[in-house]
Amino acid sequence: MTDIAAAHPTDPFDPAAINAAEGLDPVDPAFTHVLRVTALLNMVPLAIGLSVADRLLMPAIDGPYGLVTTLAWLVAAAVVLVFPSRRAQRWGFKIGEGQLRVARGWLFRTDTIVPFVRVQHIDVGQGPIERWFGLSHLIVHTSGTHNSTVTLPGLPADLAAAMRETIRRHIQTDFA
């Protein structure tokens, strides 16, 4: 009975407890900033567009001007300030003997294990926002068609390169 209790955290909504119980390493905390800037770049134009629509449409229909604008900016603020930190906490990974494990999500949790023998090639990518924060993402392409690409974002650039080399060395020894 204690093994089951130890395997499952007491608070199912605590991502740190879930990742710790599963033995997963968290992504870099700077990943929250990457998600926040990305959300900002997506939400501000949307909120501006809804504000313009509110200004143009509400006088035409004698509606309450400002309601849509206020709601748009409140939703944008929530998406930029709250959701990125929650999303970043939901990612975990573990590179082990012969496999890479990547887990993400809260309501719909996805736990992917990639055996190194199935890896076709590995990419380390870095967008401009990731570069700004010194982060990269690791992309592992596997054989097969369904879910053949596994992406692990939020890694420090040197860790992503080291993980790529670890997987590459393991692939070389498997085929040597």
Evaluate whether residue 54 is within a structural domain.
yes
Top mean pLDDT of 61-70, 106-115, 154-163 is at 154-163
141-166 average pLDDT score? 90
Q: 121-130: per-residue pLDDT in tens?
A: 899 999 999 9
Based on the number of CB atoms within 10 Å of its own CB, is 91 exposed (0-12), middle (13-18) or buried (19 or more)?
buried
Residue 112 and residue 59 share a domain: no
Which stretch of DSSP H or E encloses residue 84? helix 83-89
Q: Are residues 97 and 67 in the same domain?
A: no
What is the domain extent for residue 166? 92-175
Residue carrying the six token digits 């501000």 = 44
Q: Which of 26-30, 64-68, 93-97 has the highest mean pLDDT?
A: 26-30
In this prediction, residue 54 carries a pLDDT of: 83
CA angle 143, 150, 88 (to 5 degrees): 170
List, in sequence order, every residue forming a beta bridge with 92; answer none if it has no partner. Answer: 26, 103
**How many domains are there within the chain?**
2
Contacts of 89 (CB under 8 A, 6+ apart): 15, 16, 26
Let me know if residue 106 belongs to a domain: yes
Per-residue pLDDT at 5 exceeds 50 = no
* pLDDT of 15 above 70: no
Q: In this predicted structure, what is the pLDDT of residue 104?
A: 92
116: nearest Cα among 138, 95, 98, 94: 98
| Domain membership flag for residue 134 | yes
Same domain membership, residue 162 and residue 101: yes
Give the CATH number for residue 169.
Answer: 2.30.29
**Could you give the percent of the chain with pLDDT greater than 90?**
47
pLDDT band for 1, please (50, 70, 90 cuts): very low
Does the pTM exceed 0.95? no
Residue 7 lies in a domain: no
Mean pLDDT of the chain: 84
Same domain, residue pair 63 and 111: no
| DSSP letter for each residue of 96-145 | ETTEEEEEE-SSS-EEEEEEGGGEEEEEEE--HHHHHTTEEEEEEEESSS
Residue 29 scores a pLDDT above 60: yes
Q: Are residues 98 and 81 in the same domain?
A: no
Query: Is 2 within the bounds of a domain?
Result: no
* 79, 112: one domain: no
d(CA 105, CA 4): 22
Same domain, 112 and 64: no
Q: Which pair of tokens denotes residue 39?
A: 């959300």
Q: Answer whether residue 140 is part of any domain.
A: yes
**pLDDT at res. 14:** 55
Asked if residue 100 lies in contact with residue 150, where contact means CB atoms within 8 angstroms, the answer is yes
For residues 71 and 130, membership in a common domain is answered with no
Q: Are residues 171 and 110 in the same domain?
A: yes
Q: 35 with 50, same domain?
A: yes
**155 and 113 within one domain:** yes
Worst-scoring range by mean pLDDT, 3-7, 33-37, 63-67, 72-76?
3-7
